[in-house]
Amino acid sequence: MATSSRKTALTALSEVTENEGYSNIVIDKAIRAAELSPRDAALTSTIFYGVLEKRLTLDFYIRKFLAKPKQKLDGTVLNILRIAVYQMMYLDRVPDSAAVNEAVLCAAEYRRGQYKNFVNGVLRSFARGWHEVIIPEDDLSVRYNIPQPIIESFKKDYGETVCIDLLKAMSERAETYIRINPLKTTVDDLIESLPENTAEEAVLQNALCVHGTGDVTGLPGFAEGKFHVQDLSSQLLCAFVSPQPGERLADVCAAPGGKSFTLAEYMENTGVLDAFDLYKGRVNLIKKGAERLGLSIIHAAVRDAATGVCEKQYDRVLCDVPCSGLGVIRRKPEIRYKKQESFKELPALQLKILEHSAQLVRPGGILFYSTCTLRNAENGAVVTEFLKRHPEFEPYDLPETEGISHTVNEPKFMRTMMPMDHGGDGFFAAAMRRKTETGKETKR
Catalytic residues: 372
Long-range contacts (CB closer than 8 Å, 24 or more residues apart) made by 411-415: 414/379, 414/380, 414/383, 415/240
Write phi, then psi, for 92 (nearest 5 degrees). Answer: -65, -30
- H-helix or E-strand spanning residue 227: strand 227-229
CA angle centred on 153, ends 424 and 416, rounded to 5°: 35
- Torsion sign across C-alpha atoms 150, 380, 332, 424: positive
Rounded to whole angstroms, how far apart are CA atoms 174 and 409?
24
- Torsion sign across C-alpha atoms 228, 232, 237, 241: positive
DSSP one-letter code for 393: E
Rounded to whole angstroms, how far apart are CA atoms 272 and 207?
24
Rounded to whole angstroms, how far apart are CA atoms 290 and 301?
13
The DSSP code sequence of 321-357 is -----GGGTTT-GGGGGS-GGGGTTHHHHHHHHHHHH
